[in-house]
Structure 1
Amino acid sequence: MKRFLAFILAALMLLTLAACGSNGGNTDPQPDNDQNQTDEPSKDDPAKDMEHRVEEVLGYSFTFDGDVDERTVTDGLIAETEEYSLVIYCFDDIDFDTWDNVTDSAFKHVRSTMRAAFRFQPSEQTNSTSSKIENDYGETILKVSGTMEGDQTGEGTMNRQFIAFYYVTDENVVRFCVGVPKDDSSASYAALDAAMDTLIENLKKAA
């Protein structure tokens, strides 16, 4: 009888040890694997705040929204993405008179700059919208959008949408930035418009 009871106790001890071994001897609640995955930052998610890159162009600071490819022409800096192209005019040879005629006085320089930058030389500019903005840095900026008719090298006469902005330096001369979407899609135009707004909002004199 005693041997029988000893056998039963030994069997119970073996069962208890086996149960502990399957849990690694740890009786604490195990963490939920799904919860661990949720708490870790996703490597596939882009950063919420896209990095802005600042370029100083002859006394002014320009902030680009995201990555752009840059190159220079004689009278400006060109920035391009897959959706739009823009050029910053940086000569000081356009005298400021009034805001009412700033686009007319700058048009000759717009033509030559766009020819060098985009192989497109406009002969006529039609403004559809025009608004004067003062940004947080105290810069007064005229934003204009519309269409330009002109000669596109290799394609002949055509109309192209544009967005431009103009500002006046302390020396009372006009500079401008003009951009064109890469195609006629609303997405390309919206991307250009957003990029121009970023430039306008952050335009300031260089430190």
Structure 2
Amino acid sequence: MNRFALLLLSASMMLAISCKYILLKSEGVKQPALESHKSLSKFLLSKGIDTSEILCFRDTFALNTFYRTSFKVPDAHFFNKDKKFVDYRQSIKDCNGMVSVFIENIDSVNLELPIEGKFLDDYLNNLVIEKTGHEFVLENQEYDVYMVVYWAKYLGKVNKRKVYDWQELVKKAKQNGKRIRTLLVSVDYQEMWGISKDQIPEFDY
């Protein structure tokens, strides 16, 4: 590769990185911080997102296990009436933009073949009520669909465009008689875990 071509490549890479940084900045995406019930509730209310029930992971080990499994955030996981996991993606390359499509066709959750060996209870084992730190226990009530939504305060406006929109679609589905149980799970680092800011990893966006 000649020197001119190398300069062009370097310039284009710098431009791409710069554009990505500007995009993230405009969306309010930042490094994770220690959060509390007060800070999370205030943030969600500012985005018009329901705060009546906020869940989080019980400790850093549970959260780090979540991150190691390469989950996307924000994202949603769907479970049918038998509490079996149903993947909304048609392929592993599908992004969370398909979540809205799945909600709009919510009946398909009970028509699609569930993933073998994945159950809702397995996803709830490491969750606690964010306000109190008490173990979360799902009420004994039947639903057509269970939807677990993962979000993070450090993602800024992305939550507004995704989580809020998903909740609005769920509201419409409920108005049409669909019994949907939504669980809102924060994947932020929590003050109640007794960790310091220095123990929070820096994310490479």
TM-score (norm 1): 0.23
| Bigger-Rg structure (1/2) | 1
Structure that is richer in helix per residue: 2
TM-score (norm 2): 0.24
Quick one: higher RCO (CA 8 Å, sep 6+), 1 or 2? 2
